[in-house]
Amino acid sequence: MGVRRVDWKHDLLPDEEQREPMLRRELTRVSVVGLRAVSLICIGGTSLMLVFTSILKALGYLSEVWIETDLAIIAVGLAATPFWRKPSLQKHARAAGCLVGLFIGWIFIVTAGVSSQPGMDQAVPYNLLLVMLVAMAALPLRPLQTMSLAGSLLLSYVVALAVYPEKLFVANVTPLYLASLSVAALISVGLTAVVYRQRASAFLARQQLLRAQASLALAESSAAQGRLAAAMSHDLNSPLATLRSNLETLARAGKKFEAGELPSHRLVELIQELEATAQRACLRLVEVVGRMQRFTNLDRAEEASVDLNRLLEDTVDILRAELQKTTAVSLELQPIPFVRCRPQQMSAVFANLLRNSRDALGEGGVIRLRSMLRARDIVVEIEDNGRGIPRENLDSIFEPSFKVSGSRVVTGNWGLFNSRSIIHALGGEIALQSVEGNHGDDRTPAGGR
């Protein structure tokens, strides 16, 4: 295990944001969320505090209410709202958050300098420390930004000591406050550097994982498209062969009719028979093409309200060519509400689960598909009587894996991993129940709200 060498320049001036635009966008998003929270607290929290202290003063429990201070903090919160509301200003959210902290620190200092209430000199250092901590917690500051904010607050405190010495300076106490604040500022900068580095490293590692997952998903999608093409060709061959046979028969009948070998009434009967057969073949072609469009979502890539029962039926029909001739598939579909999702993704989930069931089957295999409504949950169950899954593999069945096979790196469980990701994105759950060698209780229910 190695220890990373300290690089003060890189720690104080990290360049990940310049090298990784996605990280910059992510930190901007977090900054907007943090600034919104700070702004709303300044507005809402201070307004409640103003009402509360006014009531206490009216009851005689307080001798002074800092209305100007509360109004100033509310004004700072209102001034920050454009930086999290307007997209054109959101990229400056972190800088705006630092200015909010600086202005609030100034408000605390000035309030203590002009207030006649004793003990206010002790509140200033604590308030300034609180500003530093809130800024660190709410905003993904870079170390230099934390250093600038903390240094500005310290400098403002020193200036205030010179302007209001009789109110803020206490011998043998104020120097200790200054030293403590200086140490706290250094600690804040160090913590910011550590937190920023961890946040950037975690985000970049996640992006690498997502890129690897996308690459594997692309490979799986290519393989799935090949299987789909094979299934489609199987479904299309039969009606196309019928139409071709009809045309050949019609051509031969025409030649026989011209040669006087076929009576006219027999030609009419033959044409009627061929017409009926051709219509059935054409209807089959229309059905196959329609199913293919629903399955692959060629004509609509965005979210839509989807009938999961129809998707299940289409998926089963498309995959019948991949199933063994001895495999029986039963559908027990109850009426369920439509679901808002991407049809192509849900079709991919169902197809992946069905293929997993198919791969586990032997002779006399049975796959049962059920849909139902339990309370407010839509439940889809896919059950087979396959060989089952070893118990030690159940806990990691939805986790992607890699293993070396000869000279190749082989991946596993990525189909189930992607299926779980799709179901979780819809707010649902997917789980598997299996007993090795049970031949009758290998069930994968997928449910959602």
CA distance 96 to 335: 53
2 inside domain? no
Same domain, 45 and 80: yes
Confidence (pLDDT) at 1: 42
pLDDT tens digit string along 382-404?
A: 888 887 777 777 777 777 665 54
Confidence (pLDDT) at 409: 43
Same domain, 286 and 321: no
CA distance 130 to 138: 12
Taking the model in full, what pTM does it have?
0.53
Same domain, 39 and 185: yes
Mean pLDDT of 115-131: 82
Is 319's pLDDT higher than 90? no
Q: How confident is the model at residue 16 (pLDDT cuts 50, 70, 90)?
A: low
Domain count across the chain: 3
Same domain, 204 and 316: no
Residue 250: what residue type? L
Nearest by Cα to 354 from 366, 364, 336: 366
Is 74's pLDDT higher than 90? yes
CA distance 381 to 393: 20
pLDDT tens digit string along 160-183?
A: 988 888 888 877 788 888 898 899
Q: How confident is the model at residue 152 (pLDDT cuts 50, 70, 90)?
A: very high
Element containing residue 380 per DSSP (H, E): strand 377-384
- Inter-axis angle of helices 67-80 and 21-40, to 10 degrees? 150
Same domain, 18 and 159: yes
Same domain, 143 and 253: no
Quote the domain boundaries for residue 81: 8-214
53 inside domain? yes
| Domain closes at, from 162, 193, 214 | 214
CA distance 53 to 278: 87
133 inside domain? yes
Mean pLDDT of 41-70: 84
Same domain, 371 and 243: no
Same domain, 229 and 137: no
| Domain closes at, from 184, 214, 244 | 214
Q: How confident is the model at residue 426 (pLDDT cuts 50, 70, 90)?
A: confident
Is 35's pLDDT higher than 90? yes
Mean pLDDT of 350-363: 81
pLDDT tens digit string along 399-422?
A: 766 554 554 544 556 677 778 878
289 inside domain? yes
| Domain closes at, from 159, 184, 214 | 214
Same domain, 123 and 15: yes
* pLDDT, greater one: 119 or 40: 40
79-113 core/surface letters (b: 16 or more CB in 10 A; e: else): ebbebbeeeeebeebbbbbbbbbbbbbbbbbbbbb
Confidence (pLDDT) at 252: 84
Work out the mean pLDDT of the chain and round it to a whole number: 79
3 inside domain? no
Is 193's pLDDT higher than 80? yes
Is 449's pLDDT higher than 50? no
Same domain, 309 and 274: no
Same domain, 140 and 237: no
Lowest average pLDDT, out of 24-28, 31-35, 317-321, 354-358, goes to 317-321
Q: What is the domain-level CATH number for residue 379?
A: 3.30.565.10
CA distance 51 to 141: 33
pLDDT tens digit string along 260-296?
A: 777 877 878 888 888 888 888 888 777 777 666 655 5
Mean pLDDT of 30-45: 92
Same domain, 416 and 289: no
